[in-house]
Amino acid sequence: MTEKEKAAKGELYNANYDSALQQERIVAKEICFHYNQAPPKQDQKRRMLIKKLFRKTGERFVIEPPFYCDYGYHIEIGEGFYANHNCVILDGADVIFGENVFIGPNCGFYTAGHPQNPSQRAQGLEYAYPIRVGDDVWIGGNVTVLPGVNIGAGSIIGAGSVVTGDVPPGVIAAGNPCRVLREITE
């Protein structure tokens, strides 16, 4: 079984020393480099680069540079997606955003985690668990979303939060670790 196949199954895999995965990351980083270097007036060029990089996009989206990811082909964004500056998506597994998702600056979505056993970490082993963000979610600035998290539709994640577990739909959640503060009401 290849390292990529192990990753897809949520098993420990070697991302650091596997030449196939290293090459795939180089391709994605090259595209991100060109995206981040494109002048603001070259919006169409930037959009084309994201469409080439991501598995799926809507027609209406904005990703403010700089933007960084590991592979790109695990990322899906819905219609009306907006990510402010310095978005980082470490996509060793799927990262799927619904429609009308707004992401503040300096946010990170990290599917990768590492074993607690130091000898396994020293071998370069890691795991990757998917992240899913529902429709109409607003994520404040400086938020970190960890592996395996699902954020329910219509929820708001407060600035500076570290999201370590699932967030239900229709709530305001914040903190480190992120926790539900209340339901969203009119």
Does 34 participate in catalysis according to the annotation?
no
21: three-class secondary structure by DSSP: helix
80/88 Cα distance (integer angstroms): 19
173/151 Cα distance (integer angstroms): 10
Helix residue ranges, H only, the chain:
3-8, 19-37, 43-53, 118-122
Strands of the sheet containing 95-97, edge to edge, are 75-76, 95-97, 131-133, 150-151
Q: Which residue(s) pair with 67 in the sheet?
A: 87
Q: Which residues are catalytic?
A: 114
